[in-house]
Chains A and B, each alone.
Chain A
């Protein structure tokens, strides 16, 4: 609830393991609020969120999830490496991670060369990649990405999409918010459509599209609800 308005209302989702789930909606539809509840940053006024059968509010649950916020801000005076190590050190099971392991992660997201530069000197795309790297620092089973492709150039987008595909191959479950529908269609097994806080659809991309482009189907669904 925000004041008297329900920002997310009656959203019920069950996401199977090892799926890439795309959460679609217009700006202000409630995507980010829903994701914040899923990673334990917000407590729902009613209802609950469970991951692997446990409440997300439990500390142990957060050991197995990774979260990348939208347009992330950082501790600008730290270097990329220091920031990643800071994030890793917050996980009891990952405290003994070596420098080489952090470097491998920075290589994975393509900012290894800038590892010792202060984050304030990073471009928007580099910050996006660093945000992505920190979401993987604990080797999570469940990865939550809020607009992961935002601010990236076409090559950067392709690289991040490749990593998302790789994460799926590794057996992880990925939940992503996006308004770039072309990429969502390519990446996701399932989608959910949220509009004014209510869930309009949740299911396979194939069933949702029924042979039409995802963007057309999304617009049609939202407009039908507005009528």
Chain B
């Protein structure tokens, strides 16, 4: 595996990804969705908490949809369309491919999230809320989650079809965000349900670690430590998923 080849594949994947016309449509839709915040601002009589909550939720929701759209077939397409032949018959390894695809797709996901974040920050500024630096912190946490999510999609697309990858990613995303709430709730129920939910809680990633949207809009103090821990958590999960993606791809019959 060489850093140079990873970089070459990253650049190629990024270029390919951001030239997708459907992506432009999705980003435009996302921007419009966030602009709805202007309408909401009127309804809520300029309530900044409402405006920021809706805006940040919009950036998260559309950003996640775009990431799934871009990533659900990232490796599958390479195998099915046999474009991998061009890469692997050259001095490039399976590891180069997995990492290059991951970083290229992650770069595209970061770009689209930042574009929508710019619209969000513009809306808050227009509504007299100034530069929402705390909102930007929530976006940074979202980018950490996106890193995990892109790695998950890279892994899923190496082992299954785009439809299966999309469904599995959506389920993991859902459970990742609701498992901590579920753990609290099953404490009262107990028995097998509690054991099952506890096991799932430890097996599945806890994506609530990346959700600080409520914290930032309600002005709860922020510190650097949880951010560093969340970054390490995302990096660990991403590394494990990418390793498995590599192992599965290597065993695949080309």
* Residues in A lying within 8 Å of B, measured CB to CB: 2, 36, 39-42, 59-60, 62-63, 65, 67, 69, 72-75, 77-78, 82, 86-87, 89-92, 95, 134, 138
Interchain CA distance A19-B125 in the complex, whole Å: 71
B91 touches A62 (CB 8 A): yes
Interface majority SS on A: helix, strand, loop or mixed? loop
Interchain CA distance A173-B190 in the complex, whole Å: 72
On whether A77 and B8 interact (CB within 8 A), knowing A62-B90, A62-B91, the answer reads no
| Residues in chain A near residue B85, CB distance under 8 A | 41, 67, 69, 72
B19 touches A90 (CB 8 A): no
On whether A78 and B254 interact (CB within 8 A), knowing A87-B90, A90-B91, A92-B91, the answer reads no
Interface bin, chain B: 20 to 34
The number of inter-chain residue pairs (CB within 8 angstroms) is 65
| Residues in chain B near residue A39, CB distance under 8 A | 89
Contact of B8 among A63, A69, A89, A138 (CB under 8 A): A89
Using CB atoms, name the residue of chain A closest to B77: A73
Of B11, B81, B89, the most chain A CB neighbours within 10 A belong to: B89
Interface majority SS on B: helix, strand, loop or mixed? loop
B83 touches A62 (CB 8 A): no
A75 touches B89 (CB 8 A): no
Besides A67-B85, A73-B82, A90-B8, 19 more A-B contacts (Cβ < 8 Å) are A2-B253, A40-B88, A41-B85, A42-B253, A42-B254, A62-B89, A69-B85, A69-B86, A72-B82, A72-B85, A73-B81, A75-B16, A75-B83, A87-B90, A89-B4, A90-B5, A91-B90, A92-B91, A95-B4
A82 touches B91 (CB 8 A): no
Interchain CA distance A92-B3 in the complex, whole Å: 11
Interchain CA distance A188-B29 in the complex, whole Å: 57
A67 touches B16 (CB 8 A): no
Using CB atoms, name the residue of chain B closest to A2: B253
CB<8 Å pairs between A and B, sample of 13: A36-B254, A41-B254, A63-B91, A72-B82, A73-B81, A74-B83, A75-B16, A78-B12, A86-B8, A86-B11, A89-B8, A90-B87, A95-B4
Of A41, A62, A67, A73, the most chain B CB neighbours within 10 A belong to: A73
